[in-house]
Amino acid sequence: MRTPLIAGNWKMHKTLAEARELVGGIREGIKGIGGVEVVICPPFHHLFAMAKAIDDSPVMLGAQNAHYEAQGAFTGEVSVPMLKDAGCTHVILGHSERRQYFAEDGPLLAKKVRAAVAGGLNAIFCVGETLQEREADRTRRIVERHISDVIKADVPAERLIIAYEPVWAIGTGRTATPDQAQEVHAFVRAMLASTYGQPTAEAVRILYGGSVKPGNAADLLAQPDIDGALVGGACLVPADFAAIIKAAGTWAAVSS
């Protein structure tokens, strides 16, 4: 049985005071909830402070990006060893906003995922189609291409987490139905199985992301291949994020 994982992608939100308040609210809200892993992914400059703020709590820390080199003349970038130094255990890579606004492509992302995993971080690798691609019935082809980018880079599966985030569902309030999401998640798992073998593929967490809210989390998480969520907007509201974590914890307790 895979332990569900709920990760909050803060994107470019929160001042330090707001970040402290948010983490305080999350810590309070998840008291007594077990059986679920929780990761917060604040902006880079909050990482050290947030590492302190989650100290002695089960909440883990992730970053939203990383460079593939350990160090060097790369102005504005942050490396995997630096993230580890700041207390990170996870890093989000290949988010559609990075692909769309910062021109991150498959070969670059493969290098990043390989560096993150080799450096001891759990890579939350995002895949997903645009609305245009879904309407053209190209969802599987796009997701297959995204996944094969990292598979071709010989990334070991042990520290790999996949997040299926249909671009049309991000920040739009329009969520994939549980069936739509499950279909893609099962497809991703089958792809992983054909590369890594069934037992390894069974152990990889595949998260869903795209307008996950307290009201739809339970139905999504009840799907057999949905192992958690990558949450944007709702992770900025402690009560909402805690409610999603609670839904995952409840599901884990029922299905174990």
Identify the active-site residue in 46, 67, 90, 95: 95
- Which one of residues 14, 27, 90, 95 is an interface residue with ligand 13P (CB under 6 A)? 95
How near is the Cβ of 224 to ligand 13P at its closest, in Å?
22
Helix (H) or strand (E) holding 188: helix 178-196
Phi, psi of 154 (to 5 degrees): 60, 40
Phi, psi of 6 (to 5 degrees): -115, 120
| 210 touching ligand 13P, by CB under 6 A | yes
| 226 touching ligand 13P, by CB under 6 A | no
Distance CA 71, CA 6 (A): 30
How near is the Cβ of 126 to ligand 13P at its closest, in Å?
7
- Which one of residues 211, 225, 226, 238 is an interface residue with ligand 13P (CB under 6 A)? 211
| 231 touching ligand 13P, by CB under 6 A | yes
How near is the Cβ of 47 to ligand 13P at its closest, in Å?
17
| 127 touching ligand 13P, by CB under 6 A | no
Helices 178-196 and 214-221: crossing angle in degrees, nearest 10, is 50
- Which one of residues 38, 110, 170, 207 is an interface residue with ligand 13P (CB under 6 A)? 170
Distance CA 13, CA 233 (A): 10
Distance CA 219, CA 248 (A): 10
Identify the active-site residue in 37, 97, 129, 165: 165
How near is the Cβ of 72 to ligand 13P at its closest, in Å?
28
Q: Decide if 95 is catalytic.
A: yes
How near is the Cβ of 256 to ligand 13P at its closest, in Å?
27
Which three-class secondary structure state does DSSP give residue 9?
A: strand
Distance CA 238, CA 66 (A): 26
Q: Which two tokens stand for residue 219?
A: 């139905």
CA distances from 156 to 114, 187, 207 (A): 8, 19, 18
| 42 touching ligand 13P, by CB under 6 A | no
Catalytic residues: 95, 165
Q: Which residues bind ligand 13P (CB under 6 A)?
A: 9, 95, 165, 170-171, 209-212, 230-234
